[in-house]
Amino acid sequence: MGYFLFIIFIVAIDLWSKKKAFKFLKEKNSPYKLGKGLQLRLALNSGGFYGLLKNKKGWIIILNLIALIGCILLLVLGFYIKDFTSYALGLSFIIGGGIGNLIDRIKRGYVIDFLYFKGGPVFNIADIFIFLGALILIYIEIF
């Protein structure tokens, strides 16, 4: 039950941060420098990672739903496995981030990205959780 509350927490933080960043960057104009190499930069991403499948909203939603359903099934079924805690944490990160981006995509037709490090893509809090969740799962499998 705790993991599902954690997923809700991740979704809430993600949606709140996107709302605040969108409003702030509309008022202050994008990009907004925070420090050396770090900016807030408004990007309305109608595609997937790195703009993959740009303007293919239906396909992206279907792929997101399939991935989320798979992760949710793994999370639910995994509770019957001993020592599943690390997997559950990684899956919770991925599910929370995935739901946050999916809500944006369904509601707006695009995902609000706003964090930018010099030389990299523009991303959001949901993307961070998805990335960290994937790293946790990869780490567990390797070690």
C-beta separation of 34 from 25 below 8 A: no
> Which of the residues 14, 83, 104, 113 is marked catalytic?
113
14 is catalytic: no
Distance CA 140, CA 3 (A): 18
83 is catalytic: no
Instruction: Enter the tokens of residue 68.
Output: 């989320």
Q: Residue type for 39, please?
A: Q
Residue 95 three-state SS:
helix
> Which of the residues 14, 83, 104, 127 is marked catalytic?
127
Q: What angle do CA 34, 39, 43 make, to 5 degrees?
A: 145
Beta-bridged to residue 122, according to DSSP, are: 116
Other beta carbons less than 10 A from residue 79's beta carbon: 12
C-beta separation of 71 from 96 below 8 A: no
Report the catalytic residues. 113, 127
